[in-house]
Amino acid sequence: MTLSTPPASERARRYAADGVLRVDRLLDGSETDAIRAAFMEQVERDREVLGADDGLPDDDVLARFPRFMQPHRRPDLPAGALARRLMSDARVLDVVTTLIGPAYGAQSMFYFKPPSARGQAFHQDNYFLRAHPETCLAVWIAIDDCDAENGALAVVPGSHTKEVVCPEAADADESFTRGLVRPPEGTEPVQTVMRAGDALFFHGSTVHGSPPNTSASRFRRSLIFHYVPRSSVEVSRWYLPLVAPDGTEVTIAEAAGGGPCGDGWAGEAH
Ligand SMILES: O=C(O)CCC(=O)C(=O)O
């Protein structure tokens, strides 16, 4: 199976069936060039201000190029201002609203994924965001052309109808994150091939992840947003405050305890 971009009138149906929707050319080349340049400038100047602490050893290439978390919360930085603006961009929100109705922005992330970087084992975003009573929705935008060699995203169509499960241990040689959710029985992963500016919109229970970047010289950068429906009554603390389309910050209750891993589970960042 390959994922194709349906006509706009087919988007909701395709998303309901597959749990993932591809929209090619969401951003144009001048925009992805500007995003790439702003984030590279930031990571070279000061990576700590936005970089996640993923507990990586200093000699891991991802310690030099950590994923950036919640850059939209730093609109004083050029990269943060871009993330903030794009989180509320009409082209993005139009699709988001078609799929899940009126929504709030909950998270922005930027992955650099340089050559030799490990990937991210299969997982489900609902495990982390815990937006209730609804699901979250991810928007994954390619900032470089990408394929299996440089670690493009792989998604599991149809897995969004299954439960959120408690992860098992991932292979640390392949994944910089620790949890692994296997594709449910009867489903198959699809390795995507995308151009810079193409986007995937996927359901919070859709199993997805990415292989290591085995290319010699091709970064695989991506800009990622997560949204929750405006009808959500709670979400994990890390995602608060949410951001309304007009930029207003909104706070709802914190989701805590329970979940697929039992009552002791206190939540963790994505
Ligand atoms: O970009 C990647 O390699 C993985 C991103 C991802 O899985 C996520 O944002 O949940």
Distance 250 CA to ligand 1 centre (A): 25
The enclosing H or E element of 139 equals strand 137-142
Residue 268: the pLDDT is 59
Residue nearest to atom 10 of ligand 1 (CA): 125
Does 213 sit in the ligand 1 pocket, CB within 6 Å?
no
Per-residue pLDDT of the chain (270 residues; tens, 9 = 90+): 889 999 999 999 999 999 999 999 999 999 999 999 999 999 999 999 999 999 999 999 999 999 999 999 999 999 999 999 999 999 999 999 999 999 999 999 999 999 999 999 999 999 999 999 989 999 999 999 999 999 999 999 999 999 999 999 999 999 999 999 999 999 999 999 999 999 999 999 999 999 999 999 999 999 999 999 999 999 999 999 999 999 999 999 999 865 666 655 555 566
222 lines ligand 1 (CB under 6 A): yes
Domains by residue range for the chain, with CATH:
8-254 (2.60.120.620)
Evaluate: CB of 125 within 6 angstroms of ligand 1: yes
Q: How many residues does the chain have?
A: 270
Four-point Cα dihedral 119, 128, 97, 22, nearest 10: 20
Q: Is 210 in the pocket of ligand 1 (CB under 6 A)?
A: yes
Query: ω before 241 within 30° of 0 (cis)?
Result: yes
| Distance between CA atoms of residues 243 and 234, nearest Å | 14
175 lines ligand 1 (CB under 6 A): no
**Predicted local confidence at residue 166, as pLDDT:** 93
What's the pLDDT at 259?
61
Atom of ligand 1 minimally distant from the CA of 208: 7
